[in-house]
Structure 1
Amino acid sequence: MLTEERRAYLELHLAVLLFGLTAILGDLIQLTALVLVWWRVLLTSGSLLPFVKPQHLLRDLGQPLLLRFMGIGVLVALHWLTFYGAIKLSNASICLICMATTSFFTAFLEPLIVKRPFRWYEMALGLLIIPGMILVVNNIEPGMIWGVIAGLTSAFLAATFATFNKKYLADVHPSRVTFVELGSAWLFLSAVLGVFLITGRDIGTWWPATSSDWFYILILAFLCTNLAYTLSLRALRHLSAFAANLTVNLEPVYGIILAWLLLNEQEDLEPGFYWGVVIILLAVFSYPVIRRRMKRYES
């Protein structure tokens, strides 16, 4: 019989696996990054309508907080645009290893935004990532460099909106915040698409052309977003922050394994790429261990 803690571990690992699957789906769906993200936020925010009361959001949140969450929603939209842009410009494995740097961007941004002290060990681990990224960049095709730049930009944006959420979330229900942020992301992307259409820019196919594209988009919206988000929240009720952070760090590992199995991406990458991956993942997994020991030392 499963205990609550074991069930929480299983739910969190499933959520992280689904988060890692988003990169694979982004590679499989035959849409441009802009159109793909537009569909994702439309379906995800629309599915939350039964659980929130949009007409009461302004009254319950207040205009300043509502506008802040809408601004964060624009950052979320830009994060997903650069995330899927990185996949289209390189591949899922490269995008995922770039996303492993998110926690270290957070180490630099959180003290500035939340006004907490800088921690020397976070800076040291952040610097350790640099040789790993150099190995990654030196062992991929030159044409994939733009994918690395887009992936690192996506990681920076993820760290930024996550830090702002931490600052402003307080006692607001997560489903309301998610609806406001994804709804504003959809409005922002709709405006961008409108400008592209008016100016005659090529956005590729607007409507998913095949049944497989529809299938993948539905999995992306409802399983990799809604279900994964719900499972992770449920799991966090029964796990320590250390255990949760260590598990979430497995996302690039799960994602790269899925890329090997489903996309055969190991055929496109040199052995030096994976040495860079090892260095980056060592830094990522070292972070919660060192942080826990430093907290004990300080106390």
Structure 2
Amino acid sequence: MKQALIKLHISVFLAGFTGILGVLISLNEMSLVWYRIMITVVSLSVLFKITGKSSKIPKATVIRFLLIGCLIALHWVAFYGSIKLSNVSIGLVCFSATGLFTALLEPLLVTKKIQWAEVGLGLISLLGIYFIFHFDQRYQTGIIVGIVSAFLAALFSVLNKKQVDNTEPLVIMLYELTGGLLVLTLLMPIYGYFFPEMSLIPTLSDWGWLLILSWLCTIVAMQLMLDSLKKVSAFTQNLSLNLEPVYAIIMAFILFDENKHLSNSFYYGVSLIIVSVVLQMIRVIYKQKARIQ
């Protein structure tokens, strides 16, 4: 369990950097995610070819992974959309609603009783978002898109939890992101119709950031996250991901001076989210000790 939690928190730290990259990359959210996934899928395909590892799995499993991958792609589009409509700090704080959505979805989609403690902790995070939404109206559109992103992330995580036990994580990633690439390719013309100003060609610096985003913050981070899911619950994973905004907000303060544009309500909200994360970590450790005894 301890090793799984360490892997989880390393992946969370890497995930925190994706919000920063969302600002540094000049592409809009749809193009950004399409390139991110395309580079990752090509890189994984080359990796399997070089290492000689097999990516063959049953056809029914392939179809499930392709469909689940559509969710992660749409989540990323909403996530970066939230950041570009507001800022890194707001977009990542909204991601903390994933814990509440997971606590509600997991009993519906997996044979598991509803955990009211998890719902309560998720509500604390949601209350933190409410503070920001209610008292700072500049970012309301970005917050709404961010909450949609959180719901899609929760749905992806719960469905993914059912699939990770017997399949190599990199194989899962390859098929899921292939599904995501297909759905975004189909949606790209529609998105371009409604948002004709969208940019399609990355700049030279964009390519550099996209490679970091795809290799380090996607392949390495998702490998660690999928490994951790074999030992921890989807809820613990998603609530731990609430630390992602903490890392990213600190980086955004340093790099972009975002602290100059945030009101006191933002800090009240973030404080509540941090409390929910700490309480969940204490709860997980306590339950683990109880099992050993």
User: Structure 1 length normalisation: TM-score?
Assistant: 0.84
Match of 1:192 in 2: 187
- 2:100–2:122 Cα contact (<8 Å) kept: yes
Match of 2:196 in 1: 202
Distance in 1, Cα, partners of 2:140 & 2:122: 21
In structure 2, the CA distance between the partners of 1:11 and 1:262, relative to structure 1 (3 Å rule), is farther
Matched pairs, number: 289
* Equivalent of 2:36 in 40, 49, 52: 40
Q: Gapped runs of 5+ residues in structure 2?
A: none
* Equivalent of 1:273 in 262, 266, 271: 266
Indicate the larger mover: 92-101 or 123-132: 123-132
* Equivalent of 2:153 in 152, 158, 163: 158
The list of structure 1 runs, each at least 4 consecutive aligned residues, that deviate by more than 4 angstroms after superposition, is 5-14, 230-249, 294-299
- 1:246–1:285 Cα contact (<8 Å) kept: no
- 1:90–1:144 Cα contact (<8 Å) kept: yes
State the 1:11 CA deviation.
6.7
* Equivalent of 1:222 in 215, 223, 237: 215
- 2:79–2:145 Cα contact (<8 Å) kept: yes
Match of 1:17 in 2: 13
CA deviations on 1:230-285 (whole Å, 9 max, x unpaired) are 45567899999999888654322111101101111111100221111101221122
Distance in 2, Cα, partners of 1:11 & 1:293: 19
Match of 2:81 in 1: 85
State the 1:229 CA deviation.
3.2
CA deviations on 1:145-165 (whole Å, 9 max, x unpaired) are 111111111111111111101
Identity of aligned residues (%): 39
Tell me which amino acid in the other structure corresponds to 1:69: F
User: Structure 2 length normalisation: TM-score?
Assistant: 0.86
TM alignment of 1:140-179, pairs within 5 A: 140=136, 142-179=137-174
Match of 2:25 in 1: 29
Q: Gapped runs of 5+ residues in structure 1?
A: none
- 1:22–1:220 Cα contact (<8 Å) kept: yes
State the 1:297 CA deviation.
6.4
In structure 2, the CA distance between the partners of 1:195 and 1:124, relative to structure 1 (3 Å rule), is closer
Match of 1:180 in 2: 175
Match of 2:110 in 1: 114
- 2:99–2:238 Cα contact (<8 Å) kept: no
